[in-house]
Chain A
Amino acid sequence: MPLAMPAPEPEILARREELLTRLRKILPAQNVIADETARRAYECDAFTMYRALPLVVALPETVPQVQAIMALAQEMNVKIVPRGGGTSLSGGSMPLEDGILLGMSKFNRILEIDFENRCARVQPGVQNLAISRAVEHGGFYYAPDPSSQIACSIGGNVAENAGGVHCLKYGLTTNNILGLEVVLMGGEIIRLGGKHLDSEHYDLLGLMTGSEGLLGVVTEVTVRILQKPTVARGLLLGFSSVEAGARCVGAIIARGIIPGGMEMMDKATIHAVERFQPCGYPLDAAAIVIVELDGTPAEVDHLVGVVEEIARAEGATTTKASNSEAERLQFWAGRKNAFPAVSCIGPDYLCMDGTIPRGRLPEVLKGMDELAKKHGLRVANVFHAGDGNLHPLILYDASIDGDIERAENLGADILRLCVAVGGVLTGEHGVGVEKRDLMGEMFNEVDLAQQMRVKCAFDPAGRLNPGKVFPTLHRCAELGAMHVVGGAVPFPDLPRF
């Protein structure tokens, strides 16, 4: 089913010239991109299935400029779509034809590194990996490491609550940031948290994280930095069935071990990877599990032994432990190349992102197999096995009529299956546009209305990134009055505030 975006509002389109003129009063001329060819570069993020030409692209360089643009948008009743590195896999920064695309790429400075308080203050356009690079001379790093870390921005990481392969042990973005500066619709500025740990009053820092650019525009981030573990070793484990691999993952955790990373790949992915760039994965295995253990040398050596013993008990057909940093990186090379490798076995792929209770993995894989057959498509699987986050890659060919729709329908069915076993629609990619219309699978009307009321507290006119996350748009006044309980409106005579 094609995703519909809110129809462009003619009254906004009609005032485009006025908007451009006023934006040019706020920004240097070259930072207001009005030319169609130049705007084309911004027509989508990493969710490339859907595209739209933004009304205008604005590239502020200072916080007062962001404030002025947010005030102008409010005054002129124009929509705003914030954009960081443009790597969202769910269309979080997909432009609107009647909206300003607010590109934060010029906010690219690291403002302060504070080793003593173990934190860094950075601008939102700074790339994820650049933070780790900036602090590595002190032996530190920034823990969340999404696959796109060379390109994605920390502001976008905050918006999406980005994860990565190390989040079972080290947490998501939300567990690794201490402070935010945020500009609200209308231009007001608020500071949340700081260098201290607890944020008092309502935890708006936590709420902002993962709010997908619907609540405010982040203009500064204070991140926690961690000391790099002394040593890390990898284990490459092969299994003759996916079930055995899944059992092994469960057994490792049951033993009280939380590895730095624990990833799983199915046969289709293993073969794709080995064809793309061989890295020694066993081709006879139905699944492989890569386990990374980090800490002090003695601890890591000890844990490697324990994990090997668990893997053998669970029937591993291959157990290899890395004995050098080069070998550890080689184990990971295939995992890091999984997405490009898969695109070589099918011209296009759609990457899904459900999370399930880990123990349900075998049954979900079997279900996915059946669904793929039903839709006549193939699926390759990569998982963050430790935390149950699945990335089924649906292979399709956009040049074949109807294949895109088949892929989307299969994706939706897979996510429905995830929810049915107690899981969720998205573990780390965000709802965005992509999963917006499936929100009803997880939440009922009342749940969604409450989330939308929170949105109203930040953006009563609904001008910030509309059309994302929520399947329906409601006016805030309507939500305030709406009182649905079990389908009935109780106390109809009760005065509303």
Chain B
Amino acid sequence: MRVEPADEKGVAEAIRAANAAKSPLRIAGAGSKAMLGRPSVGDELSLGALSGVTLYEPEELVLSARAGTPVSEIEALLGVHDQQFAFEPIDYGHLLGGAPGQGSIGGVVAVNASGPRRLKAGAARDHLLGFRCVTGRGEIVKSGGRVMKNVTGYDLSKLVAGSYGTLAALTEVTFKVLPKADTEQTLLLLGLDEEEGLTALRQVSGAAIEASGLALLPKGASPLRLGVSTAAIRLEGPRISVAQRLEDLHGLLKPRGGTMEILSQEDSGALWLALRDATPLVELSGQVWRVSVAPNDGFPLLSALRSASVPLLAHFYDWAGGLVWLCLESAPDAHAATLRAIVDRLGGHATLIRASADVRASVDVFHPQPSALAALTQRVKESFDSAHILERGRMRAEF
């Protein structure tokens, strides 16, 4: 069954009715992320009718929209004013086997989306100023506001960002938006091996270069498909600043050897869009993991996976090595135990992004937590949704 309320009040009625009937609800904005997380159960609560930008004041750097508003619509509007979501939210369309450009803004919050600029600008959580929602208890609640600086009450924006709808159905979200840079260029450093390339990226991240993208593509990886492994460094800003930093960058990297190439604005834009959306893994049919570690643990992670003979089909690094995308040969256990033992040793977490529903139901999609933290997490869940109505099973089998 599917309910599609016309407004926030309708969402509250639907959730209260579900509470009364003790029947769970799955929340869908545009439905583009239904394949993420553990499979949840219940009737579908569609937020598709809650659509439209409700406030946009470019000079104030603020935008509010109803949760079901298509991201593409918002990004187009921001583009008219040379503004953007600086956190560069990933579009999961291609990776999950659907079409791109389908997601809703509520979904962006629900998965705490980010992109290559994460290392400089943060994720959705860092830009969400406030929201309105209906909790799993069926209560309409607001938190935060529309101003840049606000410490009035708990920062529940952080809690709902990345909660996969398990706490509340968002109805309206308010974001800080930022000006687009007028120039972007990317320097490619070709021919160093992976470990050297990552060392170079970390050196750049610690220099006054203000790079807004630091990725490493192994030999042959799409979209570049080059014969050597390639470190990509993006610079954005006023033209004059990018030119100067590019020169500084050149000087910084020269002693490392390898060859350097500069991508034009257009090619640079296309490359980072592709990296944002995990394009190097899209064409492969294996299971996809997204692993977040400290930047200098990116390469040791790969080395350990190779030593453990985990069947690696493809991989690439973002965030100067702090984000590792992996595509592994499909297995019923998704190689979770081996991978997670390595990640636990290094510090970080591994999320299973793409796998069949059966696998996502039997393997922990999200990194398991120590018991005290797991218990606290469940108490937080129940503070919003005591009867486990929303997205039952989506994050954890227990709720």
Stretch from A98-106, A200-208, A332-340, A398-406 that touches the partner: A200-208
* CB contact under 8 A between A184 and B158, given known A116-B296, A204-B380, A356-B147: no
A303 touches B238 (CB 8 A): yes
| Residue from A115, A184, A299, A449 within 8 A of B244 (CB atoms) | A299
Q: How far is the CA of A448 from the CA of B142 in the complex (A)?
A: 9
**Interface pair B20/A494, CB less than 8 Å apart:** yes
Contact B152 A439 (CB under 8 A): yes
Is B56 engaged at the interface, CB distance under 8 Å to the other chain?
A: no
Q: Could you tell me if A207 and B156 are in contact, using CB atoms closer than 8 angstroms?
A: yes
Query: Which of A424, A427, A485 neighbours the largest number of chain B CB atoms within 10 Å of its CB?
Result: A424
Which residues 201-248 in B have Cβ within 8 Å of A in the complex? 202, 205-210, 237-238, 240-241, 243-245, 248
Query: A150 at interface (Cβ–Cβ under 8 A)?
Result: no
Q: Which residue of A lies closest to B367 (CB)?
A: A200
Per the 8 Å Cβ criterion, residues 192-241 of A in contact with B are: 192, 194-207, 209-211, 227-230
Q: Is B102 an interface residue when CB atoms closer than 8 A count as contact?
A: no
Cβ–Cβ < 8 Å partners of A484 in chain B? 139
Closest B residue to A215 by CB, please name it: B154
A384 and B20 within 8 A (CB): no
Are B182's CB and A256's CB within 8 A? yes
Which residues of B lie under 8 Å from residue A292 when comparing CB positions?
Answer: none
Per the bound structure, the CA–CA distance linking A203 and B349 in Å amounts to 13
Asked if B158 and A207 make an inter-chain contact with CB atoms under 8 angstroms apart, the answer reads yes
State the Cβ distance, B349 to closest chain A Cβ, in Å.
5
A172 at the interface (CB under 8 A from B): yes
Whether B147 pairs with A453 at a CB distance below 8 angstroms is no
Per a CB cutoff under 8 Å, which of B82, B207, B237 touches A295? B237
Q: What does the 1/0 interface line of B265-282 toward A look like (CB < 8 Å)?
A: 000000000000000000
How far, in whole Å, are A442 and B130 apart by their CA atoms in the complex? Answer: 13
Give, as a whole number of angstroms, the nearest-CB distance from B31 to chain A. Answer: 23
Within B148-193, the residues touching A (CB, 8 Å) are 148-159, 161-163, 167, 178-180, 182
Q: Within 8 Å CB of B162, what residues of A? A: 199-203
Q: In whole Å, how far is A131's beta carbon from the nearest beta carbon of chain B? A: 16
Instruction: Report the stretch among B59-67, B69-77, B253-261, B302-310 that lies at the interface.
Output: B59-67
B137 part of interface (Cβ distance < 8 Å): yes
Cβ of B6 under 8 Å from chain A: no
B241 adjacent to A302 (CB under 8 Å): yes
0 or 1 for each of A450-465: is its CB under 8 Å from B? (1 = yes): 1101111110000000
A139-B208, A388-B148, A447-B143 known; A204 and B351 CB under 8 Å? Answer: no
Residue among B61, B154, B366, B386 making CB contact with A480, cutoff 8 Å: B386
**A343 → chain B, closest Cβ, in Å?**
24
Confirm or deny: A253 has a beta carbon within 8 angstroms of a beta carbon on chain B: yes
Cα–Cα, bound, A260→B80 (Å): 25
CA distance A266 to B32 in the complex (A): 50
User: Which residue of the partner chain A has the closest CB to B120?
Assistant: A226
In the complex, which residues of chain B have a beta carbon less than 8 angstroms from the beta carbon of A447? 141-143, 153
Across the interface, B126 reaches (CB within 8 A) one of A175, A387, A454, namely A175
What is the CA–CA distance of A354 and B190 in the complex, to the nearest angstrom? 51
- Once A118-B205, A197-B118, A227-B206 are accepted as A-B contacts, the answer to whether A469 and B153 lie under 8 Å apart by CB is yes
Check A229/B208 contact, CB under 8 A, given A197-B323, A210-B155, A359-B60.
yes
Q: How many residues of A contact B (CB 8 A)?
A: 104
Q: Specify which chain B residues have a CB less than 8 angstroms from the CB of A442 in the assembled complex.
A: 145, 152-153
Closest residue of chain A to B290, judged by CB?
A198
Given A117-B294, A485-B140, also A203-B145 (CB < 8 A): no
Judge if B355 is at the interface, Cβ distance under 8 Å: no
Tell me if B376 and A497 are in contact (CB < 8 A).
no
Q: Check: B106 CB closer than 8 A to any chain A CB.
A: no
* Cβ–Cβ < 8 Å partners of B384 in chain A: 450, 453
Is there a chain A Cβ closer than 8 Å to B114's Cβ?
yes
Query: How far, in angstroms, from A483 to B19 measured CA to CA in the complex?
Result: 12
Bound: A163/B348 CA distance, A: 27
Cα separation A257 to B82 with both chains bound (whole Å): 12
**Contact A210-B151, Cβ < 8 Å, known A189-B372, A299-B238, A457-B380:** yes
Inter-chain contacts of A443 with B (CB < 8 A): 142, 153
Q: Is the CB of B139 within 8 A of A485?
A: yes
Q: Are B19 and A494 in contact (CB-based, < 8 A)?
A: yes
Enumerate chain B interface residues (CB-CB to A < 8 A).
12, 16, 19-20, 57-62, 82, 112, 114, 118-119, 122-123, 125-126, 135, 137-143, 145-159, 161-163, 167, 178-180, 182, 202, 205-210, 237-238, 240-241, 243-245, 248, 292-296, 319, 322-323, 347-349, 351, 366-367, 369-370, 372-373, 376-377, 379-384, 386-387, 395
Nearest 10 interchain pairs by C-beta: A206-B158, A299-B241, A256-B179, A195-B294, A387-B148, A457-B379, A427-B149, A453-B383, A355-B147, A497-B386
